[in-house]
């Protein structure tokens, strides 16, 4: 039982807590009278919020609740709490046996946002069965500067322990320097290869704000002078949650870490990928979902579906010249007359994969996708020892990957709160399925055996070692014909594909169909 205890308007909250929790614990037997009686009792007598906990426990002892310790087996319902996101709420509310907790209610499952986590995680006591949707220090992976720092360190460690070849497998992020602390290193690198384009982004930037490209050192010095005075970039109001961002530029992601935490200087300078792979003249990036259930040991699942987000504008480098060019892709798109937010400039990964196969053949695409697997694994390994391991936590990461013209994937960033807002029907289906499958793996209902290699659209990608797609025990040493258990973009529309047969939805099996055909077919048999 854990209460959030710091709310100023507690009496109302208390009522809510009691109502919700009693409904949860007693399987809906609680009555209004019980509620109001209790409410008057508390509001009349109690001063210290923590006493409520005691009171409720007393109530439990009177038989309304379930004795502690047996909760996991006997819980009639799972009390969940969530940030108000439509897709997420739809999924959680429709899950059988799950009840929503409002306001300060007591919960078993909380899909929280990272700002809540930052403020409350350390003061929250969680019981054995309770699950929460982030790791305490998720930002080790999801903030650009930390991610790069961790990857660089991991790379060095690999080089020491396993040699250069192994370390080279970590070369999937563009050269990045943290500003201002690595400014001198950056200048050194900058001078080494003149003429290339660099991109500056705030470490926890969102929606392309504060991003710009440059080719001359002078630009960045001017900029530093400018921002030092104004401090504009960080004080702009941020939307609470990143919404779907159809721009496809790799410059416009949100990491959802609130900005107020970050001083204005916290930028990274990153080598700009000048030869992105283009489809129809448009730049795009890929969004891939990875679910981490535990860091020690590392246990990660890869979702089969995801999408490519296209930029509405045509890619060109010619506009980057002497001055700053702010890549306000989203802003540009929102004012362009053909911007239809509902249109959704997305391709499901399956379609993307198919497109690439038709252009480059299956082998090249196989290589590309296994290079992407490598990115997921290495990036998670790089923070494995840094992230505070906690069995209450799980996290659904949104990876942003850019592909260049040589079919090499680059890691742009990892999002702790990938947007779950849907931009189209197809997108809605993808996201609801993604969330449902995530909940299946989180497994509040204790239905899994723990030996599953696939749950819904998720494939177990790493289980303290690589997972083979073949049946039988995972065999990390078998270098021979090891096939990784990853199927990114292999079947599209995960949700729909469940019923295999003539149609991907509505579960029409061949036999069923034949039956209905015969029904109507009234020709004499020959």
Partner 1 sequence: MLQEESDLSLVIAQIVQKLKGSNLYAQLERQAWASLQRPEIKLESLKEDIKEFFKLSGWEKKLQNAVYSELNVFPLPSHPAAPPEHLKEPLVYMRKAQGSWEKRILKSLNSMCTELSIPLARKRPVGEQKELLNKWNEMGTDEPDLSLFRPVYAPKDFLEVLINLRNPNYENGDSLSFRTHLGLIQVPLKVKGIPELKEFFVELGLTTGQLGIDDSTQVPPELFENEHVRIGQKVLAEQDSAAAQQYIRQGSPTALRAELWALILNISSQPEDILYYEQLKTNVIQHDLLVDSLIYKDVKLTASNDDYYFVFEDYLYQVLLCFSRDTSVLGHFAYNSASPPKSYIRGKLGLEEYAVFYPPNGVIPFHGFSMYVAPLCFLYHEPSKLYQIFREMYVRFFFRLHSISSHPSGIVSLCLLFETLLQTYLPQLFYHLREIGAQPLRISFKWMVRAFSGYLATDQLLLLWDRILGYNSLEILAVLAAAVFAFRAVNLMEVTSLAAAEAVLADLSTLKVMPLLQIFLFATVT
505 binds partner 1 (CB under 8 A): yes
Question: Is there a contact between 430 and 193 (Cβ–Cβ < 8 Å)?
Answer: no
334 binds partner 1 (CB under 8 A): no
Tokens 């009171």 -> residue: 55
Segment contacting partner 1 (CB under 8 A): 141-149, 398-406, 474-482, 515-523? Answer: 515-523
Residue placing its CB nearer to partner 1 in the complex, 28 or 362: 362
DSSP H or E stretch at residue 449: none
Segment contacting partner 1 (CB under 8 A): 180-188, 222-230, 384-392, 485-493? Answer: 485-493
Query: Rg of the chain's alpha carbons, rounded to an integer?
Result: 26
Q: How many residues does the chain have?
A: 526
- Which of 169, 326, 351, 498 lies at the binding interface for partner 1 (CB under 8 A)? 351
- The gap between the terminal CA atoms of the chain, to the nearest Å, is 71
- Which of 69, 263, 362, 476 lies at the binding interface for partner 1 (CB under 8 A)? 362
343 binds partner 1 (CB under 8 A): yes
Tokens 């659209």 -> residue: 457
167 binds partner 1 (CB under 8 A): no
| Closest distance to partner 1 from the beta carbon of 525 (Å) | 5
Per-residue x/- track, 436-475, partner 1 (CB under 8 A):
----------------------------------------
Long-range contacts of 146-151 (CB under 8 A, 24+ apart): 146/203, 147/173, 147/379, 147/382, 147/383, 147/413, 147/414, 148/173, 148/176, 148/178, 148/268, 149/178, 150/382, 150/383, 150/386, 151/378, 151/379, 151/382
508 binds partner 1 (CB under 8 A): yes
Residue placing its CB nearer to partner 1 in the complex, 264 or 407: 407
Q: How far is CA 292 from the centre of its chain?
A: 10
Neighbour count for residue 525 (Cβ, 10 Å): 4
Per-residue x/- track, 304-333, partner 1 (CB under 8 A):
------x--xx-------------------
- Which of 113, 219, 426, 459 lies at the binding interface for partner 1 (CB under 8 A)? 426
User: How far is residue 346's CA from residue 357's CA, in Å, rounded to a whole number?
Assistant: 18
For residue 210, give both structure tokens.
């504060």
526 binds partner 1 (CB under 8 A): yes
Q: How far is CA 400 from the centre of its chain?
A: 10
| Closest distance to partner 1 from the beta carbon of 335 (Å) | 12
228 binds partner 1 (CB under 8 A): no
User: How far is residue 380's CA from residue 453's CA, in Å, rounded to a whole number?
Assistant: 19
355 binds partner 1 (CB under 8 A): yes
Q: Who's near 282: CB < 8 A, 6+ residues apart?
A: 248, 310, 311, 312, 313, 314, 315
DSSP H or E stretch at residue 212: strand 212-214
Per-residue x/- track, 237-276, partner 1 (CB under 8 A):
----------------------------------------
- Which of 7, 227, 424, 469 lies at the binding interface for partner 1 (CB under 8 A)? 424
Rule CB under 8 A: which residues touch partner 1?
Answer: 279-282, 310, 313-314, 336-338, 340, 343-347, 350-351, 354-355, 357-362, 424, 426, 490-493, 496, 500-506, 508, 510, 513-514, 516-523, 525-526
């Amino acid at each position: 039982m854990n209460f959030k205890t710091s709310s100023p308007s507690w009496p109302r909250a208390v009522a809510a807590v009691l109502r919700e929790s009693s409904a949860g614990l007693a399987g809906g037997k609680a009555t209004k009278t019980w509620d109001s009686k209790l409410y008057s009792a508390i509001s009349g007598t109690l001063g210290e919020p923590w006493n409520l906990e005691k009171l409720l426990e007393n109530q439990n002892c009177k038989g309304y609740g379930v004795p502690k310790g047996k909760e996991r087996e006997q819980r009639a319902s799972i009390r969940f709490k969530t940030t108000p996101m439509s897709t997420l709420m739809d999924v959680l509310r429709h899950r059988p046996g799950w009840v929503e907790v409002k306001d300060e209610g007591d919960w078993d499952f909380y899909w929280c946002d990272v700002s809540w986590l930052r403020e409350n995680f350390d003061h929250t006591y969680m019981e054995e069965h309770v699950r929460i949707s982030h790791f305490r220090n998720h930002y080790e992976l999801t903030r650009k500067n930390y991610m790069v720092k961790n990857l660089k360190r991991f790379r060095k460690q690999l080089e020491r322990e396993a040699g250069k070849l192994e370390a080279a497998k970590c070369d999937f992020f563009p050269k990045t320097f943290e500003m201002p602390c690595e400014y001198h290193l950056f200048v050194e690198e900058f001078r080494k290869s003149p003429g290339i384009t660099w991109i500056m982004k705030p470490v926890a930037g969102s929606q392309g704000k504060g991003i710009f490209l440059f080719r001359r050192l002078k630009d960045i010095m001017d900029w530093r002078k400018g921002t030092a005075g104004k401090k504009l970039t960080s004080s702009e109001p941020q939307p609470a949650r990143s919404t779907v961002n159809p721009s496809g530029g790799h410059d416009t992601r949100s990491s959802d870490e609130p900005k107020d935490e970050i001083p204005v200087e916290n930028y990274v300078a990153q080598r700009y990928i000048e030869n992105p792979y283009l489809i129809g003249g448009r730049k795009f990036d890929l969004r891939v979902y990875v679910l981490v259930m535990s860091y020690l040991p590392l246990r990660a699942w890869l979702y089969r579906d995801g999408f490519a987000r296209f930029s509405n504008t045509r890619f060109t480098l010619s506009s980057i010249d002497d001055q700053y060019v702010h890549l306000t892709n989203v802003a540009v798109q929102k004012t362009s007359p053909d911007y239809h937010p509902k249109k959704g400039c997305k391709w499901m990964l399956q379609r993307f994969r198919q497109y690439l196969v038709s252009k480059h053949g299956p082998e090249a695409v196989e290589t590309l996708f296994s290079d992407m697997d490598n990115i997921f694994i290495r990036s998670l390994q790089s923070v494995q020892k840094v992230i505070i391991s906690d069995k209450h936590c799980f996290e659904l990461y949104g990876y942003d990957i850019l592909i260049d013209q040589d079919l090499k994937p680059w890691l742009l960033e990892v999002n702790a709160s990938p947007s779950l807002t849907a931009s189209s029907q197809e997108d809605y289906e993808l996201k609801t399925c993604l969330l449902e499958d995530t909940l299946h793996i989180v497994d509040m209902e204790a239905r899994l055996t723990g030996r599953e290699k696939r749950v819904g659209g998720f494939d177990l990608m790493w289980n303290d070692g690589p997972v083979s797609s073949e049946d039988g025990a995972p065999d990390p040493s078998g270098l021979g014909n090891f096939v990784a258990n990853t199927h990114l973009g292999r079947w599209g529309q995960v949700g729909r594909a469940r019923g295999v047969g003539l149609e991907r939805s509505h579960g029409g099996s061949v036999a069923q169909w034949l039956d209905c055909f015969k029904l109507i077919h009234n020709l004499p048999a020959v």
